[in-house]
Each structure stands twice: as structure tokens, then as C-alpha cells.
A and B are shown apart, each in its own frame.
Chain A
Amino acid sequence: MAKHEYSYYPGCSSQKGASSSNLEKSVETLCEELDIKLNPIPDWNCCGASIGYAGGGELPRMTLSARNLALSEKHHPDQDVVATCAACWLNTREVQERLNHNPTLKAETNIALQSVKLEYKGNKKVRHMVEVLIEDIGYDVLGSKVKKPLEGLKIAGYVGCQTNRPFGIDGESFENPMYLDKMVETLGAEALTKYDKKVACCSGALMFSEPEKGQALVKDIIESAYDSGANMIVTPCPLCQANVEIYQDDINARYKTKFDMPVMYYSQLMDVAFGRSALDAALNGNIIQSKRLREIADK
């Protein structure tokens, strides 16, 4: 039996062949290294995060997360719920808090859940994967696993919005959370603590509907990383990762910039530092490659 077990909410973008499947793969490798077992919530559904409100009212949207939570309560009664996606985590945790504070909504949710023969109680702890790493594993253990320090990497830690606000990680400040920088340094890389777009918004789901406005935000996020001397951005959030990485061509065309900035997940860095292969770290899942990181992985 694994040392740490959790009830896992993967979320849509982590599915096989979806936009953050590289996060999924790299987290899987990480869990092998740290003796963590993530048990997927059986038959989970989309949580409707962020822009679901355009079609779904409050109650239908809450019912989505309540079904996932009720499934977790039923199948994994003693395990905390863990999500890797910032939006999924925020949304699931928030729905639980709001349902538990509003008896009418909770009662109605449970009426709707009778259709799937489930009952929502609302007694789960809903956690982000980085909370597991910081609180249950700890920086010391993470550091002790490092076989190949990530020397020479200068990393802009881009925390973004939803891993940070409104809940925060490890009680850190909203304006300047340090956990990502600490992780980076634990792995032997240089954390550019002066990076001033650390908690800026990437435009989230509005990147699809308002691409020009969204790209203007991302341009600043990348520019500031270059200005701080970064050769890589790292983030815990799948939407941030996608938005900051995949539109660099469009941004270059629009703003006559020459951006070519790799945007990696914390989990990919850890995999490489822990001595795992480029394949295990899902480095091929990125559109813009970091030569340096790959060299370390292939060493």
C-alpha cells in the first residue's frame, strides 16, 4: 500500500489526448517517486468551472461538483479529495463551502442527486496537489529526492490566479506567495523572486473568446519573465500553462516580439530533478522545449 492515498479529481483537460495531459503524466511520475497513490473518483464529471455560468445556473453548476464530492464520499470515505487543476480545485472546494453555508442550496442539491442515487454530505477536505507536496511530503523530503539539481536554470515562478486566490496555499500572501519559488530552489534551480507578473491573470477561459485582450495580458507575463533574466517559466496551473505557451506565435506576429519561452509544470521539473527520463516527465508534451532541461534529463 502506498504511503499517501487520495481521492483524485482529474478534471477534463487532463484526460488522455487533452490539453494538459502532460501535467497528468508528469504528476503520475511524481507520485511514483513519492509513494503517493491517486485514486480517480469513479465516473467523475466536469466541474463546470469558470465560464459554465453562461449556460448553467447556480444550482445546476453546484450539482456538478456535488456529484463528484458525493462519489468521493461514497467510494473513498477516508481520503482527502485532491485536484491538480487550479480551476477544478478552486471550484470543487468553493462549491463545498457554499453548499455547507446555504441549507436551501444543499437541500436542493441533494434532491437533484437522488437521480443518481447519491447523497452529498460535505465533509471532505478538498486540496490542491501542491498542498499535498508541501504539507504532507514537505520541502525536506522533496529536496532529499533530488538526484540531478537543475543547475543553470533561471526560473520565473508564475503562480497565476486560481491556485492563489481566494484560498491561497500554505497560508501565504496573495500578493507574493513564495511556495513555487521555494520548490524551484529545492530542486537546485535559481528562482527569480523579483518576477513581477507572478500573480497576474492570463485571461483564463477568456483567451478563447477574447483572444486579442487575452494575448495582451500574456505578452506582459512573458515580457516580464525575459526582463528578469528567465530562461523558463514554471506554473502549477494548466490554463496558465496553455495560455502562456501556445499563443506565443500569435503574439510574436501581433507585437513583433521574438518570444520563445518554455512554460513548464512544477511536476515536470521535479521529475527531471528526481532523475526521471524526459519521457516520464512528459517533456515532449510541450510545444516550446527547454534545451537545458532536456539536457539535464538526458544526462
Chain B
Amino acid sequence: MTTAVNQAMVEKYKGNFLKEVTDNVEEGSWVKMCMQCGVCSGSCPLGPHWDHPPQELFMMIRANKREEVLSSTSMWMCTSCYNCVARCPRGLPITHIMHGLAHYSKRMGMKPKHQPTEQFGQMFWDNLTKKGRVNELKLGLGLYFKDGFAEGVKVSMGKQKLGLNMMKAKRMSPMEMLGGHGVKDLSGFHAMLKKAEELEAARVGENTDAK
């Protein structure tokens, strides 16, 4: 389901996807600097699973392949290894552009369906923003149950030995379920994030209204 802001963006940028990316995607203004050398594309650890490696995504952005880029699973395969950043002769912050494209695809309602890293990443974010710190046990369990209860029981049973080993090594405390860790100034923390989200949304919205 695409979002209202998606429609507005399509109208606003009318076939100039590079400009849209430049204006709205994290570090997107760097995309135009790419000289298509292909060094980054050989750098991704999960490269064989990418439909479009970074260099190709950058080419597609210039070629206005908006829908193909934003619905791609590729950028969700980024492991944040920074191989590309260390090697790119033009100094593009490729890792951040991948994160930025992924986030933007979500904002536009174009994210790929059932993408596990998208789902896990959202869980991670929800988990951390709730209390200010990550609760690893709940996060782990949440992942097993993301495909529904029956599937979750199956997967978590499969992982039971791992869980027990981790508990034995005192690296996964069941106490976490009862509360666990968190920041003290929780209301301030939440207000801060809310403000940051508003400011960011306003920036995208502003661009939309400016026409």
C-alpha cells in the first residue's frame, strides 16, 4: 500500500527520481557523484542475493526506475560491513544510502513484502524505542513469532538448545522478560524521539507542499 506522501512525491518530482533521492533520501545527494566503476558491487558479503548491487541501484535511480528501486529487496541485504565505503574511489557513503533507500521505500509504502530484515529491523526499533534500551530476549522471541504462533513455536523449539546454552553462559537472562533494562528519563526520551520524528516528517512534507 503506497502512502499519501508517495503520491505527492510522484507528482512533485515527475520523472526526476534522482532529484527526489537527492532531496529526500539519507545521503542521497551523493548518488550523482557515482562514476559507475562497479567496485562497490563486488564488495557486498551477501552480494549473490542482491537483485541489484549498489552501483546498479545508482544507475537505476538516474534512469528513473523509481518503482523497481523502491520495491527492491536489495538494500535490505546490506550488512553494514562498510567494505564499499572503504573502497569507493568517489567516497560515497554507500552504506548510509542503502539504509536511506530502505527507510524511504518504507515511508513511501513501497517496501517489499515479507522481507525478514525489514520485519526484524522494525521489531528492533520498536523494542529499543519503548524503553530506551534493547531487550535481547524479547527481541529474539519476537522474531520467532513474527510468522504467527504455530510457526513461532516450531522455530523457537529449534533454537531451544541455543537459548539454554546462552542462559547457562549467563548471556540471556530470563529476568529480561519481567522488565529488563531501560532509561530512567523515559518520558523525556519519548518526547525527544517524537520531536525528531515530527521534524523529519515536516521536512519531507515541506518539500511536498513547496511544489
CB of B82 within 8 Å of the partner chain: yes
- Mask: chain B, 170-211; 1 = CB below 8 Å from A; 0 = not: 111101100001011100110111111101100000000000
Of the residues B26, B117, B136, B199, contact of A18 by C-beta under 8 Å: B136
A22, A44, A62, A208 pick with most chain B CB within 10 angstroms: A208
CB of A146 within 8 Å of the partner chain: no
- A interface residues, how many (CB within 8 angstroms): 66
Of the residues A44, A201, A209, contact of B120 by C-beta under 8 Å: A209
Assuming A58-B26, A67-B192, is B132 touching A210 (CB within 8 A)? Answer: no
Chain B residues, CB < 8 A from A63: 192-193, 196
A20, A117, A206 pick with most chain B CB within 10 angstroms: A206
Give the nearest-CB partner of A250 in chain B. B162
Give the nearest-CB partner of B79 in chain A. A204
Contact (Cβ within 8 A) B86 A206: no
A44 to B172, CA, bound (A): 21
Contact (Cβ within 8 A) B128 A174: no
Of the residues A50, A57, A286, contact of B80 by C-beta under 8 Å: A50
Interface residues of chain B: helix, strand, loop or mixed (majority): helix
A281 to B211, CA, bound (A): 61
Chain A residues, CB < 8 A from B116: 209-210
Assuming A21-B171, A117-B188, is B183 touching A206 (CB within 8 A)? Answer: no
Contact (Cβ within 8 A) A109 B124: no
Q: How far is the CB of B25 from chain A (nearest CB, A)?
A: 9
Chain A residues, CB < 8 A from B195: 111-112, 114-115
Contact (Cβ within 8 A) B26 A210: no
Contact (Cβ within 8 A) A115 B100: no
The count of A-to-B residue pairs whose CB atoms sit within 8 angstroms is: 209
Contact (Cβ within 8 A) B122 A57: no
CB of A153 within 8 Å of the partner chain: no
Chain B residues, CB < 8 A from A201: 45, 79, 81, 83
Assuming A17-B171, A161-B81, is B45 touching A217 (CB within 8 A)? Answer: yes
Q: How far is the CB of A201 from chain B (nearest CB, A)?
A: 4
Of the residues B119, B121, B125, B192, contact of A116 by C-beta under 8 Å: B192
Query: Mind listing 14 A-B residue pairs with CB under 8 Å?
Result: A13-B134, A15-B181, A18-B136, A48-B125, A52-B124, A53-B26, A54-B124, A57-B26, A58-B26, A58-B103, A112-B195, A165-B86, A208-B140, A250-B162
B residues sitting closer than 8 Å to A (CB atoms) are 26, 45-46, 49, 77, 79-83, 85-86, 99-100, 102-103, 106-107, 116-122, 124-126, 128-129, 132-134, 136, 140, 143, 161-162, 165-166, 168-173, 175-176, 181, 183-185, 188-189, 191-197, 199-200
